[in-house]
Amino acid sequence: MKSILEYDSVELSENGRDLIILDQSLLPNEEKFLHLTSAEQIFYAITLLKVRGASALGLTGALGLAMCMNRFEARTMAEFEKEFMRVKRYLSISRPTAVNLVWGLDRMESCYYRSREVTEGRPAAEAISYIQDQLTTEARTIKLEDVKMCLAISEYGASLLKPGSGILTYCNAGHLAVSRYGTALGPIYYAQQQGYMPKVYACETRPMLQGARLTAYELNKAGVDVTLICDNMASDVMARGKIDVVFFGCDRIAANGDVANKVGSSMLAILARHYGIPCYALGPTGMLDPSAPTGSDIVIEERPSFEVTDMYYDKPMAPKGIKVYNPAFDITPAGLLTGIITEKGIITPDKLGTLK
């Protein structure tokens, strides 16, 4: 059986014509890799959480856009550009809260315009082939940069840990959610490699159970000492002195340092403040969204009601027709965070302006 770090959850095939993802909706019971060959398949893979995690979504957007354009047969540059813009817009609406998805797509658009300028005046076939190569190279570069970014976050986060540190984490911001290593789980892997043997408590993360299905799965597979708890047990383990630090990821950072992450993250920050436990959000500076002055300006995606009432149950666990409120994310105010751990270092929320 392969180590969790021996394969990636998102990658582009060698010929650039298939986007390969690990179907996370099937974990932990089945490891199945999907070969996606159309924008529509990518869209539904994202919306159905077959691929998820902020950085992984950015990679999926970039690699997926390159794949779609490698497969598109255009006779003219006008046709090629029209399809490029169509696919970019289409993929951008699949998960509105995750800023990395749009960031990856926007970076590919910048690459497209640079490449088009270079090919001005060339025959259409030659120009299109050149642009396809450049888009593929750019997407692969984004992935390599993401690996380096995750390693840097891992090192900074691990600097806060001691041998045997107790860590409480939420949802899944690990190897499955990025190119490699992870953000919130990255320091755990790094500390494990340094012989620190951290003890992790993973909240199950209702209603989609990413903590139970994904975080517990990947940490256990990596040999990390991990204990699964229900979300409502977080206060108990903190009160019993089992937690030294809280680590969770982030899907978007507002200009004032407020963080959008999986719904329930703010609950842990509030509890950590009560018990005097440091609480950190971990993510790349690419999560920073200057267009959102505060967390209240971040659009929160609402998910289908069946995720709460039916998902993972043999029979519905709520009355038929009951009203359900199911936001995918919540906002953790900057004042509740000890810091935000990025690839540039550990930034206190009041110093967030240094990232701009």
pLDDT digits (tens, 9 = 90+) for 128-180: 999 999 999 999 999 999 999 999 999 999 999 999 999 999 999 999 988 88
**Residue 356: predicted pLDDT:** 59
From the centroid of its chain, how far is CA 51? 9
- Between CA 251 and CA 300 the distance in angstroms is 11
Q: What is the pTM of this model?
A: 0.86
Residue span(s) of the chain under CATH 3.40.50.10470 come to 160-355
Amino acid at 160: L
R_g (Cα) of the chain, nearest Å: 21
Q: Residue 355: is its pLDDT beyond 70?
A: no
Q: Residue 321: is its pLDDT beyond 70?
A: yes
What is the fold, at CATH topology level, of the domain defined by 4-151? Four Helix Bundle (Hemerythrin (Met), subunit A) (1.20.120)
**Residue 352: predicted pLDDT:** 75
Beta strands in the chain (DSSP E): 10-12, 19-22, 33-36, 166-169, 199-203, 225-229, 245-249, 252-254, 259-262, 279-282, 288-289, 329-332, 339-342, 345-347
Which has the higher per-residue pLDDT, 242 or 8?
A: 242
Residue span(s) of the chain under CATH 1.20.120.420 come to 4-151
> Mean pLDDT throughout 25-40?
95
Amino acid at 64: G
Cβ-based neighbour number of residue 341 at 10 Å: 30
What is the fold, at CATH topology level, of the domain defined by 160-355? Rossmann fold (3.40.50)
- Residue pair 31/7 in contact (Cβ under 8 Å)? The answer is no
**Residue 6: predicted pLDDT:** 75
In the numeric block, the tokens 């494990």 are attached to 192
- Residue pair 42/164 in contact (Cβ under 8 Å)? The answer is no
The catalytic site residues sit at 251
Q: Residue 186: is its pLDDT beyond 60?
A: yes
Average pLDDT of the chain is: 94
Confidence grade of residue 98 (pLDDT, cut at 50, 70, 90): low
Q: Residue 113: is its pLDDT beyond 70?
A: yes
